[in-house]
């Protein structure tokens, strides 16, 4: 999984799941233009542990279809 892919390719290949990205090329400072997918099939918590631990360097975790994930931060607003 060391192939650089565009965000559109990542979403198509890994729909509705958490992915861990490295070597991210950012578009407009906030959106992924392209990246290398390093992790799939891990939970959000597992990816967060890898990020916080710092062992993976610049690891960015995200859900590939944001509209389909429940955002806990929005409860009660």
Query: In the chain, where are the structural domains located?
Result: 4-65
pLDDT tens for 29-43 read 889 999 999 999 999
- Spell out the long-range contacts of 47-53 with Cβ–Cβ below 8 A and sequence spacing 24 or more: 47/18, 47/20, 50/20
Instruction: Give the mean pLDDT of the chain.
Output: 84
Are the CB atoms for 21 and 61 separated by under 8 Å? yes
Q: Span 15-21, mean pLDDT?
A: 95
Distance of CA 65 to CAs 7, 20, 41, 43, 69, Å?
A: 11, 14, 15, 14, 7
pLDDT tens for 47-62 read 999 988 776 678 999 9
The three-state secondary structure class of 23 is: strand
pTM for this prediction: 0.79
Task: Specify which residues 5 forms β-bridges with.
Answer: 35
């Amino acid at each position: 999984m060391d192939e650089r892919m565009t965000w559109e390719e990542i979403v198509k290949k890994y729909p509705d799941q958490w992915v861990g990205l490295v070597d991210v090329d950012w578009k407009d400072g906030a959106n992924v233009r392209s990246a290398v997918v390093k992790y799939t099939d891990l939970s959000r918590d597992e990816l967060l542990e890898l990020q916080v631990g710092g062992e993976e360097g610049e690891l960015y975790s995200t859900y590939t279809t944001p509209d389909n994930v429940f955002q806990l931060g929005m409860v009660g607003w």
